[in-house]
Structure 1
Amino acid sequence: MDESSESSKRNGAGTLIIGVGTDIIEVLRIGQMIERHGEVFLNRVFTEDEVQYCQRRKEYTQHFAGRWAAKEAVMKTLGTGWSRGVGWRDIEVCTSRSGQPSVILRGGAREIAEQAGICEVLITISHCRSYATATAIAVGR
C-alpha cells in the first residue's frame, strides 16, 4: 500500500479504518425464525442482554432484525464470515441510554479483531417495518 492509499484510509489523528461492513435483512424473515424456533433461535444468536433489550421494545422484531444485521456487518469488518471459531454470541450489540449502539467482541471475534489490529468497531443500526440495516466500521490505531 502506498502512502496516499494509507493516508486516505485515516480517520482523525492516528485512527486507521481497517474494515467496513454493511448488512440488510427483511424484518419478516427474523419474525418467521422467532415464530418457528422460539427460544432456541434467540439463544443461539443473541446474548441474554440482547434478548431482554429487544423483548422490552414495542416493535421487538425490528430490534432483533437490527441486531442480526449489526452482527453480520461486524463479521464483514473482521473479514472472516462465520468461520474460524466465531459464533453469533461472540458479537454483542449494546445500546447506551441515549440510544447509541455499540459492540462488545468476545471469544473468536475478539481474537480475530486483536490479530487484525482492530481496537474498536463502530456501528449504526436503522430499521422500519420491512427492513433492518446496519453498518460497521472497524478501526485501529
Structure 2
Amino acid sequence: MRIIGHGIDIVETARIAAMVTEHGERFLDRCFTDSEQAYAAESKHRRFEHLAARFAAKEAVLKALGTGWTSGIAWSDIDILRDAEGRPGVRLGGEAAKIAATLGVEHWFLSITHSDSYAVASVIACASR
C-alpha cells in the first residue's frame, strides 16, 4: 500500500456541545449524517463526545485528502461509520468521493479517541500501489 495522505484533528467536546445547544438540529443536520446522529444518540451521557469524535474525523479526512473545505465538499459527503467489530471507518460521497477517486484512495485507516474534554482523530488515506 502507498500512503496518499495523513490527517489528524483535535476538537474540544465542549465546543460541539455549545454548537448543538446554540444551533440545535440545524447544526446537527449540516455537520452530521443521519447514521452519525443516531450513533451519538445511543449514548445520551457521551453524546457530545461521539459527535466531537466524528467532527474531528471529518476534519482529519479533509486533511488526508489535502483539500480542506474549499473544494465544494459538504459535511454530509463524509460519513464516519463503525463496522460489526466496532472499528471506525470512512464512507465518502459527493465531491469528497470524486477527489478521493482522482487521488487513487482505495482504503482508509481511521483511529478515534475521545474523553469528556477532547476528541482526536487520525486518518491515513492509502492506494494499493
Normalised TM-score (structure 2): 0.96
| Corresponding position of 2:63 | 76
3-state SS of the aligned residue for 1:113?
Answer: helix
| Corresponding position of 1:11 | none
The 5 Å alignment of 1:93-112 reads: 93-112=80-99
3-state SS of the aligned residue for 1:82?
Answer: helix
| Corresponding position of 1:131 | 118
Distance in 1 between the 2:18 and 2:84 partners? 29
3-state SS of the aligned residue for 1:83?
Answer: helix
The 5 Å alignment of 1:15-26 reads: 15-26=1-12
| Corresponding position of 2:24 | 38
Return the offset for 1:98: 2.0
Return the offset for 1:99: 1.6
Amino acid in structure 1 at the alignment position of 2:21: E
Deviations 1:5-42 (A, max 9, x none): xxxxxxxxxx1011000000100000000000010000
Q: State the identity as a percent.
A: 44
Distance in 2 between the 1:62 and 1:96 partners? 19
Normalised TM-score (structure 1): 0.88
How many equivalent residue pairs? 127
Higher helix proportion = 2
Distance in 2 between the 1:35 and 1:17 partners? 38
Higher relative contact order (CA 8 A, sep 6+): 2
Return the offset for 1:53: 0.7
Deviations 1:40-71 (A, max 9, x none): 00000000111011011131000000000000
Q: Which has the larger radius of gyration?
A: 1
Which deviates the most, 70-79 or 52-61? 52-61
Amino acid in structure 2 at the alignment position of 1:63: H
Distance in 2 between the 1:37 and 1:80 partners? 26
Return the offset for 1:83: 1.6
Distance in 2 between the 1:40 and 1:68 partners? 15
3-state SS of the aligned residue for 2:71?
Answer: coil
Are 2:104 and 1:120 equivalent residues in the alignment? no
Distance in 1 between the 2:12 and 2:85 partners? 26
List gaps (5 residues or longer) in structure 2: none
